[in-house]
Amino acid sequence: MSAHIVLTRIDNRLVHGQVGVTWTRAVGANLIVVANDQAAADPLQQKLMATTADSTGVGIRFFSLQKTIDIIHKAADRQKIFIVVKTPADAVKLVEGGVPITKINVGNMHYGKGKKEITKKVYVDEQDQKDLLQLASHEDIRVFIEDYPGEKKFTVDESLFK
C-alpha cells in the first residue's frame, strides 16, 4: 500500500495561510509534509508554519527531501498527505526517489533575475522549466498551475513555455 498523497504543491513560501488553510481544506488533507532541507533544519521557520497548520487542525511534519523519500512509504492509510516543496527541483528529487506523487500543483514561484513570467504568480528560469517538463512527462503525474482552489488551471506542457 502506498502513501495516500492527496496533492503536492510547489510554493517558494512553503506553508502560509493560503496553503495551510485554503489548500489543505480543499484537498481534504489531515497532514502537511514540508519536504525541504532548509525548513527541516530551521526551528523558527517550523514554528511559524506549525501555527498556520494548527489553525486548521491538521498535523504538520518537517522532513528533508531524503527523509521524505525514506519514510513516506511508512505512512498510515488514514493519513491524507499534502506535500509542500519549495522548487520544481525538489519535486523531481521526490519523484525520482520513488515518492508516489500523482498530482503536482505549481503555486507560487516568485520573480527573480533570469526568470520569465508564466502566470501572475509563476516565474521560471531554464532549470525550473526543464524540471516542470520532466515532471509532466510522467504519464501518471498531472502537473498544473492553479493559484487558488477552483481558479483557472493551466496544464504544464511545452506550449505553456512558448
Residues 6+ apart with CB under 8 A from 160: 118, 145, 154
Residues 6+ apart with CB under 8 A from 54: 60
10 Å CB burial of residue 139 (0-12, 13-18, 19+) is exposed
Active site residues: 16
In whole angstroms, how far apart are CA 89 and each of 6, 7, 45, 53, 94?
20, 17, 21, 24, 9
CB of 102 closer than 8 Å to CB of 140: yes
